[in-house]
Structure 1
Amino acid sequence: MTSPTVDVHAHVLLPEVEALVAGLPGLAEARALDARRNGPESLAVSGPMVRERIPRLTDVTVRLAAMDAQGVDVQVVSPSPSHYHYWADEDTAREVCRLANEATAAHCARAPERLRGLGLVPLQHPGLMPEALDHALAQGLLGVEISSHAPGRELSDPAYEPFWARAEETGAILFLHPFGCTLDERLDRWYLSNTVGQPTENAVALSHLIFSGVLDRHPGLKLIAAHGGGYLPTHIGRSDHAWSARPDAGSGCAHLPSSYLKRLYFDSLVHDPHVLRELVRAAGADRVLLGSDFPFDMGTEDPVAALRAARLPEADFHAVRGGNAAALLRKD
C-alpha cells in the first residue's frame, strides 16, 4: 500500500492569539523591529499577500480543497511564526502558548484524519517550556514549533536543557522555523530578510545545536528543520574542517558536524532540485520530509512536483513524499 503524501510544513493563522496581545506593552516595539528588518517595500507586498490567503490559513474546508488540488493527504499544521511573540512576559507568554495550542488543536480536529498540529512554547522563558510542551501534547498535538533563537538566547543555552530532555522523553516533534533575522537592516531590501535571512537563521540555529553537544546529550530528539536546514547541509564541509582543524570549534561535540545531519530531519522546501538532491545525499533519504510552507508565497504551490523535479530514485521519492513522515508521526 502506498504511503499517504504528508506535508510537514503548513501554517494556520490564529486570531485568538493576536486578540490577546493587541495593545500590550512590547507589541509595538516588536512590530517596529520587524518593520525595520523587512523594509517598507517588502511590507507593502506582504500585507496584501497574507490577507489574500486568510481563507486558506483559517478555514478548514478551504484548506482541504487546496490540499486535494496539491495531491496532499495529510498536513502537519503549525502556527504562523508571527504568533511567537517572544517579547511577552511570563504570564502573557503562558497564555499565548495556551491559546495557540488549543486553537491549533481545534483547527485540526475539524479533519483529524488529514490534519495534525504543532503548538508553541515560550522560547524567551526556558523555565516555562516543558510545561507548555506538555500542554501541547495534552491537546493531541504532535509537538511544538520553535524559532532559531529568542532575544538574548541561542539554542545552545544551557537553560534549554530541561526542555530538550522533556521533548526527548515524550517523543515530541520539534519544528525549527525561524522568524526574523538578526542581520536586521542589512537585509531590508529586495526581501533579503527572507531569502537570505531564513536560511541563515536555520544554519546558525542548527550549528548551535550541533557544536554545543545538544544532539550528543539528547540523541533521541525529533527535530525537523524548515527550509531544508538553510545553508548548513550544503556547506557542512566547512564545519567539518573547522571541527578537525581548530580546538575551539571541536571542543563541544563528539563527532564530525556532518554526522549530525543524519540525526535531524529536514523539509524539502529548498526551491532548487539540485539543492534538494544534495540535501538528500548529505542527510540521507530517510531524513527529508515533504514541505510546502502552505499557503505563503515563499512556499511551493505543488510540493510533489517540486520533489519529482529532483529526479530521486523512486524509493527515495516515495520516502520523502510521505513514507518518512508517516514513520515519524507514528510516535506511539
Structure 2
Amino acid sequence: MTAANAPTVDVHAHVLLPEVEALVAGLPGHAEAKELDARRNGPAALAVSGPMVRERIPRLTDPAVRLAAMDAQGVDVQLVSPSPSHYHYWADEDLAEKLYRLANEATAAHCSAAPERLRGLGLAPLQHPEQAVRGLDHALERGLAGVEISSHAPGRELSDPAYEPFWTRAEETGALVFLHPFGCTLDERLDRWYLSNTVGQPTENAVALSQLIFSGVLDRHPGLTLIAAHGGGYLPTHIGRSDHAWSARSDAGAGCAHPPSSYLKRLYFDSLVHDPHVLRELIRVAGADRVLLGSDFPFDMGTEDPLGALRAARLSDADFHAVRGGNAAALLRKD
C-alpha cells in the first residue's frame, strides 16, 4: 500500500468511559484530585469546560455518532484513547489495577463496534511503575494497539529508572505509547484565560520529551514507538536551545549520546499544532515520516477539520499523504 492509497487515520481521538468514573465516584482521592484540577484550571475555565464536554458526550460515548462524525470529517480510521481525565494517578495499587482493566476493556468494547475503523489504546498506571507493564500487557491482550500515558506521575518523571521495564516491554511488543499530558505542574500560575491548557499542555509535552531524551531512555530503547500529542509541544520549535546546551555544558550532555534534535526523528508527533507554519517546521525537524494526523476529537481544543488544517500547510503530495494516513497505517499494520 502506498501512502496515497492509505486510509485517512486520526491518531488523536478520545473516548469517555462512564464506567471508570463510576468506579472512583465518592472516593476521597478522587475529590482531592478534582480540587487540584479546579485550582489548576480556575473557575472561568471550568464554567466553559463543563457544558463543552456535556455537549460532546454522544460523540465521546456512542460509536454510531462517532462514525458519522468521522465520515463528515473524511476520516477513515481513528486511534481512540481514553479521555486523560481517566488517568487517576492518585489511585492505590488495588484501585489502579481495577481502573486500567476496566478502561482497557471498555475501550476495546467501544472499538469493537467498528473494528475496521476504530483502533484503541488502553491505560497504564504510571503511579505504580511495577503495574505499568501489566497494564500494557492487559491492553494488548484485549486487542488494543498500546497505551496512553501522561507526562509524569506524582513524584516521578518519565526518566525515572523504575520505568525501564515498561519501556522495555513496549519496545519488545511494538506497542504504541501515546504521550498525552493531563494537567500542568505550574498549577495556579495558569489558572486564568485557559492558560492551563494553551500554555500548560505544550509545556508538559516539552518537559516529558526532554526527560526521555536527555536521560538516555531513547538511547536504551531505540525501537520504542512513542507518539507525542500536540505536536510535541514547545520542544520541536525550540530544539536548537537543547542542542546548544548539550554541546556547551557537561551536565546537559551527560545522559544522552547524540544531539537532542536527532531524537526527534525517533519519535512520532501528531499534527495538532493549530498553525500551518508550525506544522511545516515540525515536519522539517522530525521528518514527514514522523508526523501523524491528529484532531483531539471531539474536544474544543482540537480541530473539526483535521484534513483542512493539514492542507493549509501546503505540503508536497508525498508529505501530505504520509501525514494524512500513510505513516499511521504503517504503524497500525506493524502493531
Q: Which of the five TM-score ranges fits, normalised by the shorter chain?
A: over 0.9
For residues 21 and 95 of structure 1, the distance between their equivalents in structure 2, rounded to whole angstroms, comes to 10
Q: CA deviation at 1:293?
A: 0.1
**Partner residue of 2:179?**
176
Letter in 2 for 1:52: E
Aligned residue among 279, 282, 287 for 1:284: 287
Structure 1 regions of 5+ residues with no counterpart?
Answer: none
Q: Deviations over 1:36-91 (max 9, x none)?
A: 00000000000000000000000000000000000000000000000000000000
Letter in 2 for 1:263: R
**Partner residue of 1:212?**
215
**Partner residue of 2:257?**
254
Letter in 2 for 1:88: A
For residues 290 and 318 of structure 1, the distance between their equivalents in structure 2, rounded to whole angstroms, comes to 10
Residues 1:44 and 2:47 aligned together: yes
Residues 1:106 and 2:109 aligned together: yes
* Residue identity (%): 87
**Partner residue of 1:92?**
95
For residues 99 and 162 of structure 1, the distance between their equivalents in structure 2, rounded to whole angstroms, comes to 23
Q: CA deviation at 1:222?
A: 0.2
**Partner residue of 2:228?**
225
For residues 221 and 18 of structure 1, the distance between their equivalents in structure 2, rounded to whole angstroms, comes to 31
Q: CA deviation at 1:196?
A: 0.1
| Counterpart mapping for 1:142-157 below 5 A | 142-157=145-160
Q: Deviations over 1:252-284 (max 9, x none)?
A: 000000000000000000000000000000000
What secondary structure does 1:77 align onto? Answer: strand
| Counterpart mapping for 1:5-20 below 5 A | 5-20=8-23
Aligned residue among 79, 82, 104 for 1:79: 82
TM-score w.r.t. the length of structure 2 is: 0.99
Letter in 2 for 1:331: K
Letter in 2 for 1:241: H
What secondary structure does 2:237 align onto? Answer: helix
Aligned residue among 130, 133, 140 for 2:133: 130
Q: CA deviation at 1:153?
A: 0.3
Residues 1:243 and 2:253 aligned together: no
Q: CA deviation at 1:330?
A: 1.0
**Partner residue of 1:60?**
63
For residues 320 and 189 of structure 1, the distance between their equivalents in structure 2, rounded to whole angstroms, comes to 34
**Partner residue of 2:331?**
328
Q: Deviations over 1:209-260 (max 9, x none)?
A: 0000000000000000000000000000000000000000000000000000
For residues 273 and 320 of structure 2, the distance between their equivalents in structure 1, rounded to whole angstroms, comes to 15
Q: CA deviation at 1:25?
A: 2.2
Aligned length: 332
Letter in 2 for 1:162: P
Letter in 1 for 2:10: D
Q: CA deviation at 1:23?
A: 1.1
Q: Deviations over 1:135-194 (max 9, x none)?
A: 000000000000000000000000000000000000000000000000000000000000
**Partner residue of 1:197?**
200
For residues 24 and 32 of structure 2, the distance between their equivalents in structure 1, rounded to whole angstroms, comes to 13
Q: CA deviation at 1:202?
A: 0.1
For residues 330 and 80 of structure 2, the distance between their equivalents in structure 1, rounded to whole angstroms, comes to 17
For residues 142 and 223 of structure 1, the distance between their equivalents in structure 2, rounded to whole angstroms, comes to 12
Q: CA deviation at 1:331?
A: 1.5
RMSD between aligned residues? 0.6
Q: Deviations over 1:291-330 (max 9, x none)?
A: 0000000000000000000001110000000000011111
Aligned residue among 289, 295, 299 for 1:296: 299
What secondary structure does 2:27 align onto? Answer: coil
Structure 2 regions of 5+ residues with no counterpart?
Answer: none
Letter in 2 for 1:309: A
What secondary structure does 2:301 align onto? Answer: coil
What secondary structure does 1:294 align onto? Answer: coil
TM-score w.r.t. the length of structure 1 is: 0.99
Q: Deviations over 1:87-126 (max 9, x none)?
A: 0000000110000000000000000010000000001000
Letter in 2 for 1:301: E
Aligned residue among 263, 267, 273 for 1:264: 267
What secondary structure does 1:250 align onto? Answer: coil
Letter in 2 for 1:102: E
What secondary structure does 1:29 align onto? Answer: helix
For residues 207 and 122 of structure 2, the distance between their equivalents in structure 1, rounded to whole angstroms, comes to 23
For residues 265 and 42 of structure 1, the distance between their equivalents in structure 2, rounded to whole angstroms, comes to 30
